[in-house]
Amino acid sequence: MTETKLSEILEESFVRCRDLEAPLADRLQAFANELRRLGPRFAAAVDALVSRLAESHAGAKAPKVGEPMPAFLLPDDQGRLVRLEDLLGKGPVALAFNRGHWCPFCRINVDALARAEKEVAAEDRHVAAIVPDRQKFAVWLRSEAKAPFPVLTDIDNGYAMTLDLAFYVGDELKHMMVSSGWDPSVSQGTDNWMLPPPSSSALMGSFTHALSTRTTECAWPSRTCLPRCDPRRSSGADCIVLMATARVRV
């Protein structure tokens, strides 16, 4: 008899946590609690990873407040090439870096941003998600969340790496992820095992978002802000968000 994988065991918990009528931080924490309950070894491995990233100052070279956001040209989920300046032509844009369609935390984040899109659009702000997944998986992620915003594909995390926003998973966690049913190499089409890092805080600012632990500064509705959480207990629960305004020169 085939052993049920952790990803399958957690799917029911994921749906329940995603659909909670609660702030994003509470939904993410609820799923993190389920992960710790049902997969304590996996949660401990992610804790160790988060600590390693914190100790190595991962993301420290990302754009700071007031610095220009580097330009990009990335395909969206419909196969169209999208430039940063195209998005900025519609107003300030929040760029959400997600690990992929396979990541339950990212799926919860994208769902929350999709729910909030009408609120932020009313203020001439909008969202775009960036994942290292290939197009068909980007389509799946957007479709599941019913997201009105584009999901862009960052092949091999090329753009994320220019921002210092990608890291190597490591052999131990790699094998644990595969055995648990999470294999990003399938959706990425590469075996380099590079992913955008989990973040314990929203990235924010006037031109681009710089690291901040004060969610009260976030330009988005409070129900969508990324949670403040102890990096040692995060279980990779949150995703990085960068925001650019139309004043950025690209």
Task: Show the domains of the chain with their CATH numbers.
Answer: 6-244 (3.40.30.10)
- CA angle at residue 211 from 205 to 215, to 5 degrees? 75
Q: Which of 64, 123, 73 is nearest to 93 (CA)?
A: 123
pLDDT of the residue at 67: 78
> What's the one-letter identity of residue 211?
L
Calpha distance 150→141 (Å, rounded): 10
pLDDT of the residue at 248: 34
pLDDT of the residue at 125: 75
DSSP 10-35: THHHHHHHHT-SS-HHHHHHHHHHHH
Q: Map tokens 């007031």 to a residue.
A: 66
Instruction: Tell me if 195 sits within 8 A of 183, measured CB to CB.
Output: no
Please, is 98 exposed, middle or buried when counting C-beta atoms within 10 Å of its C-beta (0-12, 13-18, 19+)?
buried
pLDDT of the residue at 1: 58
Contacts with 12 (C-beta within 8 Å, 6 or more apart), sequence order: none
Rounded to two decimals, the pTM is: 0.82
Please list the ranges in the chain whose pLDDT falls under 70. 1, 121-123, 199-250
CA dist 6 → 101, 106, 120, 178 (Å): 16, 17, 35, 10
Calpha distance 240→98 (Å, rounded): 7
Q: Which of 119, 111, 115, 117 is nearest to 144 (CA)?
A: 111
pLDDT of the residue at 157: 95
pLDDT of the residue at 237: 52
pLDDT of the residue at 133: 97
Q: State the CB neighbour count (10 A cutoff) for residue 163.
A: 21
Beta strands 240-244 and 93-97 are: antiparallel
pLDDT of the residue at 211: 26
Contacts with 26 (C-beta within 8 Å, 6 or more apart), sequence order: 20
